[in-house]
Each structure stands twice: as structure tokens, then as C-alpha cells.
């Protein structure tokens, strides 16, 4: 099985929230999620948000990423 979607506003619903919801619904149906795939470009803030969520980082900020200083 495959889930496909477009996430239009990661500030309203994060990538982590989407992942956890899909995983929960799959588990409820007796299915195991094996992997995920991103197609296209991902905003830096969305990638940082999901990283902070997955690693359970309290108070993680964008300015703690070296590359973010080169983008300013």
C-alpha cells in the first residue's frame, strides 16, 4: 500500500504530525510502515522542525544550524 499527499503548509501541520498520523492509522489496520519518501523540495524550516521533533529537542532553533547563517 502507498500513501500519497501534498502538504501545503508545514506550519499548520508538521511533517512529523503527518508521519505519526499515517503510521497510527496503518498500525490500526494491521499494517507496518516500512519507509517514507519525500519528492520535490522541502522548506528548510520543515526539515528542521521534523528533526527537532524526531530527536525530542527542547527549544531547538533554526539559528543553531550552521548552514542557516549562510542563507541570511
- Domain ranges in the chain are 15-70
Q: To the nearest whole percent, how much of the chain has pLDDT over 90?
A: 42
As a whole number, the mean pLDDT across the chain is 89
- Length of the chain measured in residues: 72
> pTM to 2 decimals?
0.74
Q: Assign residue 35 a region (left: φ > 0; alpha: ψ between -120 and 50; beta: otherwise).
A: beta
Other Cβ atoms less than 10 A from the Cβ of 15: the count is 20
Question: How many Å from the N-terminal Cα to the C-terminal Cα in the chain?
Answer: 41
* pLDDT score, position 22: 94
Residue 25 reports pLDDT greater than 80: yes
Over range 2-23, report the average pLDDT: 92
Amino acid at each position: 500500500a502507498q500513501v500519497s499527499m501534498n502538504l501545503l503548509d508545514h506550519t499548520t501541520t508538521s511533517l512529523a504530525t503527518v508521519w505519526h498520523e499515517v503510521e497510527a492509522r496503518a498500525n490500526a489496520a494491521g499494517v507496518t510502515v516500512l519507509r517514507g519518501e519525500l519528492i520535490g523540495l522541502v522548506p528548510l524550516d520543515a526539515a528542521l522542525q521534523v528533526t527537532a521533533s524526531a530527536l525530542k529537542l527542547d527549544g531547538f532553533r533554526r539559528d543553531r544550524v550552521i548552514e542557516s547563517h549562510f542563507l541570511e
